[in-house]
Amino acid sequence: MHTPLRPRARTLLATGCCAALGAGLLAGAGTATADEPGPAQARPGSKVVGYFTDWGIYGRQYYVKNIETSGSADRLTHINYAFGNVTDGKCALGDSWADTDKPFTAEESVDGVADTADQPLSGNFNQLRKLKKLHPNLKVIWSFGGWSWSGGFGEAAKDPAAFAQSCYDLVENSKWADVFDGIDIDWEYPNACGLTCDTSGREAFRDVMKALREKFGKRELVTAAITADATSGGKIDAANYAGAARYVDWYNPMTYDYFGAWAATGPTAPHSPLHSYPGIPQQGYDTASTIAKLKSLGIPSYKLLLGIGFYGRGWTGVTQAKPGGTATGPAAGTYEDGNEDYKVLKAKCPATGTVGGTAYAKCGNDWWSYDTPRTIKGKMKYKDAQHLGGTFFWELSGDTANGELIHAIN
């Protein structure tokens, strides 16, 4: 077994080589004038989509069972299972041990029944199957790509139909076809830069989503996590998200990770602001700006979900309590410096203030920002006022054992 190289669905807006790659592309962005709806869904505004990471079963010891015991399964409408890989122009398993092979003990299992050596399917897929039996209306979507594994989309975009066929064959494999209700694409980022830079062109994302919809049909879900960069000439402008919108059931704009300790010396700023505020380091890096920009392209409100991080981002070497202070680098984190789960920060560094509709705290020399049940409720008011399709979050293991954050989502 191994732990993947951070294949996460987060928007590292402040990094990458090509921030201005899409400059000048706003003109002729296209509008989402036609809808090709997928399967019948919960009423607009009511979707609650949570990411479950396959690698969470290792160091974090967060199992599918925990979705049930935390009460989260009762609140979720959809689970995004992260991540499948994209390699050689095809969809592929991300971690076969975690996905299909690992035998879970009775204590680790959703229904208290241990896996046996002769059963046809083990791993997280079998546990998700058990969870769905307890919650017949719960849908599971297989997410492909993420931060570490988006480099394969450029090759996939050369032959969208072949890529779509490979994804369909994998997602609808007879061993686990009943587990999944569709596919989610986390391409970070089309015609722009993330961990690597993509030059497949402005229409590549639209062409890929069109091919996926044609292959998966109207009965299966087709969704995508997309950039939240609302700056002029930024990542939203680099790809034809409006033209692709007709082929997706909804988008998950990653309205978190706007700011973080990749800017090692600061200024400190909340990673998931709901709205701009005086002194924000970059205009266009806030949720309201992201949603406004996507809607201005003609993307329907009901096809946009509000993104929330169940984690915080932080700096150390900070002397100023309020945002905008200088720092010396990322604060220490359990699994990654500069990053920590809400369940840890709640006790380790309780929130002392709010800015831009989210919370922050200074503890010793460390400065953290993260959402709390109170700030999430504020974001829910915004979501409802904007008539958005619902809420999604990264990711389930960051919440408390009793699901404090997910219970704040309406």
Q: Which residues are catalytic?
A: 188
Among 78, 75, 83, which Cα is nearest to 7's? 83
Q: Give the span between the Cα atoms of 163 and 89, in whole angstroms.
A: 6
Enter the DSSP assignment of 331: P
Q: Residue 185: beta bridge partners?
A: 144, 224
Using DSSP's 3-state secondary structure scheme, residue 124 falls into: helix
Contact 366, 331 (CB under 8 A): yes
Token output for 210: 């069109």
Tokens of residue 240, six digits? 């034809």
Report helix, strand or coil for 388.
Answer: coil
CB 331 within 8 A of CB 363: no
Q: What is the DSSP letter of 193?
A: B
Cα dihedral sign, 209-216-218-127: negative
Contact partners, residue 356, CB within 8 Å, separation at least 6: 270, 273, 274, 275, 276, 277, 280, 286
With H, G, I as helix, E, B as strand and everything else as coil, classify residue 210: helix
DSSP state at residue 228: -
How far is residue 252's CA from residue 392's CA, in Å, rounded to a whole number? 7
Tokens of 91: 């969809």
Measuring CA to CA, which residue among 286, 336, 372 is closest to residue 8?
Answer: 336
Q: Is the Cβ–Cβ distance between 141 and 78 less than 8 Å?
A: yes
